[in-house]
Amino acid sequence: MELKTIGLVNSPYKIKKGSPHQGRFSEELSTIEIFTEYAEALQGIEQFSHLMVIYWMDRSGPVSLKVVPRGRTKKRGLFSTRAPVRPNPLGLCMVELVKREGNILTVKWLDALDESPVLDIKPFVSDIDCL
């Protein structure tokens, strides 16, 4: 498998401490700069109010197969949690697209730390993504 970084996050969260455990719990804005070689792929994205952002949690700690989820007291299997300490530290966030200026997307609800590598962006489509 070969992953390509398509862009970088510019976020108010510089360190883990104080960052929201899910972006939905914060109204802070972040930007995602899509590299110019992929900018053409943004065409049409403005018609979506919400996007799914997949990013690489490049500063996550060592993998742990049992973790205590935030606000809980007992350990659970990693795959029943959203903890970052995963074999493949992928972060998934549904964000609100506030605006697009060229290859820069301004979004709300992203919990990625500053300079997190972005791997993919997909539109949120309620018919598909809501149960």
Ligand X SMILES: C[S@@+](CC[C@H](N)C(=O)[O-])C[C@H]1O[C@@H](n2cnc3c(N)ncnc32)[C@H](O)[C@@H]1O
Residues in contact with ligand X by the rule CB under 6 A:
16, 19-22, 57-60, 82-84, 91-93, 111-113, 116
Q: Which is nearer to ligand X, 50 or 82 (CB)?
A: 82
Query: Alpha-carbon distance 89 to 80, whole Å?
Result: 14
Q: Mapping DSSP to helix (H, G, I), strand (E, B) and coil, where does residue 8 land?
A: strand
Say how many C-beta atoms besides its own lie within 10 A of residue 93's C-beta: 19
Q: Which is nearer to ligand X, 34 or 53 (CB)?
A: 53
Q: Tell me the CA end-to-end span of the chain in Å, nearest whole number.
A: 31
The SS3 call for residue 90 is strand
Nearest to 91 by CA among 69, 120, 67: 120
User: Residue 20 region, left (φ>0) first, then alpha (ψ -120 to 50), else beta?
Assistant: beta
Closer residue to ligand X in complex, CB, 66/102? 66
Q: Cβ 26 to ligand X, closest distance in Å?
A: 10
In the complex, the smallest distance separating the C-beta of residue 103 from ligand X, rounded to whole angstroms, is 20
Cβ of residue 59: shortest distance to ligand X, in angstroms? Answer: 3
Least distance CB 75 / ligand X (angstroms): 16
Which residue lies nearest ligand X, judged by its C-beta? 59
**Cβ nearer to ligand X, comparing 46 with 75:** 75
